Amino acid sequence: MILIIGIIVVLLLGAVLTYNNLVGARNAVENAFGTIDVMLKKRYDLIPNLIEVAKTYMKHENEIFTNLASLRARATTATNTDEKVAIENQISGAMKNLLISVENYPDLKASEQFTMLQRSWNETEEQISAARRAYNAAVTAYNNAVDKFPSNIFAGMFNFKRKEVFMIAETERQNVSAKALFNS
Amino acid sequence: MTPITDFQSFYQTNLKPKLAELETIRISYAKKIKLYGLIGIGAGLAFLVFKISVWPLILIVVAIFFLYRYYAKRFGNSYKTQIIALLAQAQDLQYDHESSISRSAYDQSKIFVRTPDRFWGEDLLTGKVDKTGIWFSELHTQYKSGGKNKSWHTIFRGIFFIADFNKNFIGETYVLPDVSENIFGSGLGGFFQKLNIARPQLVKLEDVEFEKAFAIYGTDQVEARYILSPALMQRILSLKEKFNTAVALSFIGSHVYIALSISKNLFEAPWLFSSVDNYKQLEEYYNDIAMCTDIVTILDLNTRIWMKE
């Protein structure tokens, strides 16, 4: 009798621990996603300043500016995660275009204000990339918990579903290639 | 850094004259030791031959040993202040053979959990490589094991290197040699890493090669990744490869602390009975310094494209 009760207690305890572990992993994912959001907001705040400074020097690049401004507006109102990610990637691409055209405006490139803005841009980019990697690590840990025995039993019972990791968009990957940069 | 192709001309124009000065000092010391040694041993042997006692000879040999030590130390000091300092100067560094990385800086790094009972260091080199301030010296820290047969155990011996880091951060991040993962494999090893209560949270990074070599701990998961960018992880691996030794790093309070385990004693003068003008040895010392200043380049610490100036 005592043996049976003992086994039940151990099983219950194991179930509680496994369940809590799953919840913990899921919360870590949400927390990590929140961090990305914070970093992204920082970046949105930078865009108007950058446009403001660059505009005074770059008279003939209106297209880039309107594109950036509209992307920012869309990003701040977007609610869907997938949509957000897509816009983020476009913003990164548009910024890269802007920085490439800055090469044609040496005065702007030399201006201290612009250099500072560029630095803070790099800073937020680096922070966002770190936040994304942290998010991916949290998702991997969570997915492991969902897939691995014995916690996969509970995951199925309580509807814990696998989550997707952040992928680098195809356009962004292409931008990394220096060869493509020189050819364009 | 002055490229090593310049060492030949640097040796000819800057080192040679100093070496010549030092050589005369060395020869005079060596002569004194030989003279006193011969007289002393002669007298000692006389005692022995006339069967008076063996003790005078033993005492004299001991005395000569101490005499040698005394002159070797004096000579060693001149060698360091004149020759090694010149080698450091050639690479825009200041050299102080009597100083070392301070105990407080060592403690601040928190690379080693155990508090040392004995802290020894020498050969401090400081300076700037472009925008990055660097400080490094030899250190040897030990702890005493308790119980009846007390003995000293090394915590760390090698070069302790500190540099300004090029990014701002507020937390603490540790990159430590991965002992448990090497022994137990990634599954069980990871379990032991998590259990390490002396450290903050375990940070699992995506670079497999890096994860195999190091265990990473940090107070903030995002900040640890902000510091350890994919590029920096590769650079740390190449640093480990270049020094070919155990490397431990910590990122705390706008600095990067690097502990490089090395057992050889750096920048020591040759012994009194050989010439100071040893081109090979001088070149080796020059390269040892260059290798340390090179850490700035290897870790790309001069790239200042982020908010920190």
Q: Are A152 and A146 within 8 A, CB to CB?
A: yes
In angstroms, the CA A162 to CA A141 distance is 11
Query: Do B85 and B133 share a domain, yes or no?
Result: no
Domain span including residue A161:
2-183
Q: Is residue B259 part of a domain?
A: yes
Q: Does B149 touch chain A (CB under 8 A)?
A: no
Query: Do B30 and B134 share a domain, yes or no?
Result: no
Percent of chain B whose predicted confidence (pLDDT) is above 90? 66
Which residue of chain A comes nearest to B231, CA vs CA? A126
Interface confidence, given as ipTM, is 0.74
Query: Do B43 and B126 share a domain, yes or no?
Result: no
Q: Which two tokens stand for residue A10?
A: 């151990």
Query: Do B196 and B245 share a domain, yes or no?
Result: yes
Angle (CA) A38 A76 A121, round 5°: 55
Distance from the Cα of A149 to chain B's closest Cα (Å) equals 15
* Residue B183: per-residue pLDDT: 59
Q: Are B110 and B200 within 8 A, CB to CB?
A: no
Q: Which residue has the higher pLDDT, B84 or A78?
A: B84
Query: Do B216 and B197 share a domain, yes or no?
Result: yes
In angstroms, the CA B132 to CA A166 distance is 34
The H or E element that residue B257 is part of is strand B255-261
* Residue B185: per-residue pLDDT: 58
CATH of the domain at A74: 1.20.1440.20
Among partner residues B222, B305, B307, which is closest to A35 by beta-carbon distance? Answer: B222
Kindly state the average pLDDT of the residues B4-11.
Answer: 79
Eight-state DSSP code of residue B207: -
In angstroms, the CA B159 to CA B139 distance is 6
Q: Does B205 touch chain A (CB under 8 A)?
A: yes
Q: Which residues of A touch B225 (CB under 8 A)?
A: 129-131, 133-134, 137
Q: Is residue B305 part of a domain?
A: no
pLDDT below 50 — which residues of chain A? 170-184
Q: Which residue has the higher pLDDT, A31 or B80?
A: B80
Query: Do B85 and B63 share a domain, yes or no?
Result: yes
| Cβ distance of A122 and B206 shorter than 8 Å | no
Query: Do B252 and B116 share a domain, yes or no?
Result: yes
Q: Which two tokens stand for residue B21?
A: 């000065």
The DSSP code sequence of B138-189 is EEEEEEEE-SSS-EEEEEEEEEEEEEE-SS---SEEEEEE-HHHHHHHHHHH
Q: Are A182 and A50 within 8 A, CB to CB?
A: no
Query: Do B36 and B85 share a domain, yes or no?
Result: yes
B36: pLDDT confidence band, cut at 50, 70 and 90?
A: very high
Taking only the tens place, the pLDDT of each residue in B116-145 is 999 999 999 999 999 899 999 999 999 988
Kindly state the average pLDDT of the residues B91-97.
Answer: 95
How many structural domains comprise chain A? 1
How many structural domains comprise chain B? 2
Last residue of a domain, one of B93, B122, B143: B93
Q: Which two tokens stand for residue A38?
A: 């914070």
| Cβ distance of B306 and A133 shorter than 8 Å | no
In angstroms, the CA A16 to CA B215 distance is 30
Taking any CB pair shorter than 8 Å as contact, residues of chain A touching chain B are 32, 35, 118-120, 122-123, 126-127, 129-131, 133-134, 136-138, 140-141
Q: Which residues of B touch A21 (CB under 8 A)?
A: none
In angstroms, the CA A151 to CA B152 distance is 48
Last residue of a domain, one of B45, B66, B93: B93
Q: Is residue B271 part of a domain?
A: no
Q: Is residue B43 part of a domain?
A: yes
Residue B3 has pLDDT above 70, yes or no: no
| Cβ distance of B204 and A126 shorter than 8 Å | no
- Alpha carbon distance, N-terminus to C-terminus of chain B: 21
Most B-contacting residue of A123, A140, A143 (CB-CB within 10 A), to test interface: A123
DSSP SS3 for A38: helix
Domain span including residue B19:
4-93
Query: Do B286 and B152 share a domain, yes or no?
Result: yes
Last residue of a domain, one of B93, B109, B137: B93
Q: Is residue B124 part of a domain?
A: yes
Eight-state DSSP code of residue A104: T
Nearest Cα to Cα of residue A139 among A31, A4, A17, A18: A31
Taking only the tens place, the pLDDT of each residue in B102-118 is 999 999 999 998 899 99
Average pLDDT taken over every residue of chain B: 89
Residue B47 has pLDDT above 70, yes or no: yes
Q: Is residue B20 part of a domain?
A: yes
* Residue B124: per-residue pLDDT: 97
Kindly state the average pLDDT of the residues B86-115.
Answer: 94
Query: Do B154 and B247 share a domain, yes or no?
Result: yes
Taking only the tens place, the pLDDT of each residue in B171-193 is 999 999 987 665 555 556 666 66
Q: Is residue B309 part of a domain?
A: no
